[in-house]
Amino acid sequence: MNEGEGPKRVTRKMKLIWVGGYLLVLALILVSIFVSYVMLKPDSSDEPIEHECESRGGIFSTRVLSPTSVEICFGRLHPEPNPTALDIILVRNATDEGRYSFQSDDDGPLVLADGVTIGSIVYADSEDNERVNLGDKLDITGLHPASNYEIMLIWVATGDVITSKTLSTPAG
């Protein structure tokens, strides 16, 4: 063996070992990326996720919870107004009427602005975005059992009725 031949073979072997090592590391990285993608990718089902309030339909929907309480669940409003741009009118048995106003654009109770106290209303902003939009709710308590109600959503600026719903509370 000549002195010049030995180092060349070692160098070739070393190069093959280094290339093999790089290829192994690259393969491990690619496998890790693929596994991470498969584990973390979002659900790709074709069915859209339906929000509880949206499934009830309309600008708002009502659900009687008890003889004295009702939940209003907002659907989609266009544009999505600030709460203070709206009023709620409650009418009981087509005679007693109370107009309620939002105190601020945050969660909280509405105040009686005009008429008689029909019940208590508390607003919950589901996204805390100070906009009335899908998922926001009004909890109305203190209603009279065995009564008929109309609930109207009103634009404060114009007094126009956006929408209204009627419901009846069961006997207590």
Looking at residue 49, its pLDDT comes to 43
Angle (CA) 88-67-50 rounded to 5° is 65
* Nearest residue to 151 via CA among 122, 123, 118: 118
* Separation of alpha carbons 90 and 116, rounded Å: 9
Expressed in angstroms, the distance from the first to the final Cα of the chain is 107
The first and second tokens of residue 110, run together, are 């509405």
Q: What is the mean pLDDT of the chain?
A: 84
Which residues are 161's β-sheet partners? 154
Among 153, 170, 138, smallest CA distance to 71 is for 138
C-alpha to C-alpha distances, 41 to 32, 36, 51, nearest whole angstrom: 14, 8, 22
Q: Collapse the DSSP code of 70 into the 3-class scheme (helix H, G, I; strand E, B; otherwise coil) and give the result.
A: strand
Assigned token pair, 159? 């007094």
Q: Mean per-residue pLDDT for 4-29? A: 76
* Cα(152)–Cα(168) distance, integer angstroms: 15
Q: Mean pLDDT, to the nearest integer, of 93-97?
A: 93
Q: Give the pLDDT mean for 154-162.
A: 93
pLDDT at residue 100 greater than cutoff 90: yes
The confidence score (pLDDT) of residue 169 equals: 94
Q: pLDDT tens digit string along 23-72?
A: 888 989 988 888 777 767 655 544 444 556 655 567 888 899 999 999 99
